[in-house]
Chains A and B, each alone.
Chain A
Amino acid sequence: MAIELHPLQQFTIERILPLHVGRLDLSYTNSALLMTIVVLLITALTVFGTRRAALVPGRLQSFAEMSYEFVADMVESNVGPEGMPYFPFIFSLFMFILFANLLGLIPYSFTVTSHIIVTFAMAAVVFIGVTMIGFARHGLHFLRLFVPEGVPKVLLVLLVPIELLSYFIRPFTLSIRLFANMLAGHTMLGIFAGFAAIVGIFAIFPVAVDVLLLALELLVATLQAYVFAILSCLYLNDAIHMH
Chain B
Amino acid sequence: MIALPEMSEDPPPDPLARLGERLDKARAGRVPVRQPNANPGLQQGLALGFRIGIELVTAVVVSVGLGWAIDRWLGTRPWVMLVMFFLGVAAGMLNVYRAVTRTSGAVGYRRSASEGADAAGAGRAKRKWDDDEDC
Please give the residue numbers on chain A whose beta carbons come within 8 Å of chain B beta carbons, in ascending order: 73, 76-77, 81, 144-151, 161-163, 165-167, 169-170, 172-173, 176-177, 180-181, 219-220, 223-224, 226-227, 230-231, 234-235, 237-238, 241-243
Contact = CB atoms under 8 A, between A and B. Distances in A.
Contacts of A241: 112
Given A150-B124, A226-B47, A227-B47, A145 B58 contact: no
Nearest to A144: B108
A234 B105 contact: yes
A177 B47 CA distance: 11
Nearest to A165: B91
User: By DSSP majority rule, is chain B's interface helix, strand, loop, or mixed?
Assistant: helix
Contacts of A73: 33, 37
Contact of B51 (A169, A177, A237): A177
Contacts of B34: 77
Interface in B76-127: 84, 87-88, 90-92, 94-95, 104-110, 112, 124, 127
Contacts of A230: 47
B62 interface: yes
Contacts of A165: 59, 63, 84, 87-88, 91
Contact of A169 (B59, B106, B109, B112): B59
Contact of A172 (B32, B62, B124): B62
B131 A169 contact: no
Contacts, number: 100
A227 B51 contact: yes
A240 to B, nearest CB: 11
A227 B59 contact: no
5 contacts: A165-B88, A169-B59, A172-B62, A181-B50, A223-B50
B97 to A, nearest CB: 10
Given A145-B108, A162-B94, A166-B91, A227 B55 contact: no
Interface string B32-43: 111011000001
